[in-house]
Chains A and B, each alone.
Chain A
Amino acid sequence: DAGITQSPRHKVTETGTPVTLRCHQTENHRYMYWYRQDPGHGLRLIHYSYGVKDTDKGEVSDGYSVSRSKTEDFLLTLESATSSQTSVYFCAISEGRAPGELFFGEGSRLTVL
């Protein structure tokens, strides 16, 4: 299994509070991604990174920011969480941008009350 660790795995928070999800990899892969999964929507890309300090927006980036200061860590931050951000968040990594295979973490379930 690819070495991807997401933390926390479960979190309950209140509207308006900041939240940071962490993705840590031990594979030294260049590309890292954050997706959210919602019923009826499949997986939607939030942000991705193609190197240290190099990031780009995905389909649903509003309300989210990311940072990558080290190859192995990719942080997703919700500056002020809203109920619409209740979701399961998946981190993924790949060696190449395309058409490489993505390896997924186990997911982080976030509930915003």
Chain B
Amino acid sequence: AQSVTQLDSQVPVFEEAPVELRCNYSSSVSVYLFWYVQYPNQGLQLLLKYLSGSTLVKGINGFEAEFNKSQTSFHLRKPSVHISDTAEYFCAVSGRNTPLVFGKGTRLSVIA
């Protein structure tokens, strides 16, 4: 069975500073990895996904993530955050025939 650990429940960061949101996964089989974002009072939307190929994945709104198989990690990064990036971010993992399993989320607060 797959599982996901998001290492930080809350991350405060100043506007225009870089940010990294950490995600580690556990799986004994091939995995597909995702980052979703949830803005206040909304559903989740996909930021980016890793299915295969290049380990550096670029998503929407300037976010990117790197798949590291040896460290079983899929950390999300952005070089310069904006106030509008304030949201909750969820890492998720699935296998070939299994539904998505989500982490507990990381609340990113961007401070002006």
Q: Give A contacts to B, CB under 8 Å.
A: 4, 33, 35, 40-45, 48, 58-59, 90, 92, 97-99, 101-102, 104-107
Report whether B43 and A43 are in contact in the complex, using a CB–CB cutoff of 8 Å.
no
Give the shortest distance, in Å, between B50 (CB) and chain A (any CB): 9
Report whether A99 and B51 are in contact in the complex, using a CB–CB cutoff of 8 Å.
yes
Give the shortest distance, in Å, between B26 (CB) and chain A (any CB): 15
Give the shortest distance, in Å, between A8 (CB) and chain B (any CB): 15
Determine, out of B14-22, B67-75, B78-86, B90-98, the stretch whose residues face the partner at the interface.
Answer: B90-98
Report whether A101 and B49 are in contact in the complex, using a CB–CB cutoff of 8 Å.
yes
22 intermolecular pairs with C-beta atoms under 8 Å apart: A4-B43, A33-B99, A40-B104, A42-B6, A42-B103, A42-B105, A43-B44, A43-B90, A43-B102, A48-B99, A92-B43, A97-B98, A97-B99, A98-B99, A101-B34, A101-B49, A102-B36, A102-B100, A104-B43, A104-B45, A106-B42, A107-B42
In the bound assembly, the distance between CA atoms of A92 and B90 in angstroms comes to: 15
**Cβ of B87 under 8 Å from chain A:** no
**Cβ of B46 under 8 Å from chain A:** yes
Q: Give B contacts to A, CB under 8 Å.
A: 6, 9, 32, 34, 36, 41-46, 49, 51, 90, 94-105
In the bound assembly, the distance between CA atoms of A4 and B44 in angstroms comes to: 12
Report whether B43 and A98 are in contact in the complex, using a CB–CB cutoff of 8 Å.
no
Which residues from B are CB-within-8-Å of A43? 44, 90, 102
Q: With a 10 A CB-CB cut-off, give which of A42, A44, A48, A107 has the most chain B CB atoms.
A: A42
Report whether A99 and B32 are in contact in the complex, using a CB–CB cutoff of 8 Å.
yes
Which residues from B are CB-within-8-Å of A92? 43-44
Seed contacts A44-B102, A98-B97; 11 additional CB < 8 Å A-B pairs:
A43-B44, A92-B43, A97-B97, A97-B99, A99-B96, A102-B46, A104-B43, A106-B42, A106-B43, A107-B41, A107-B43
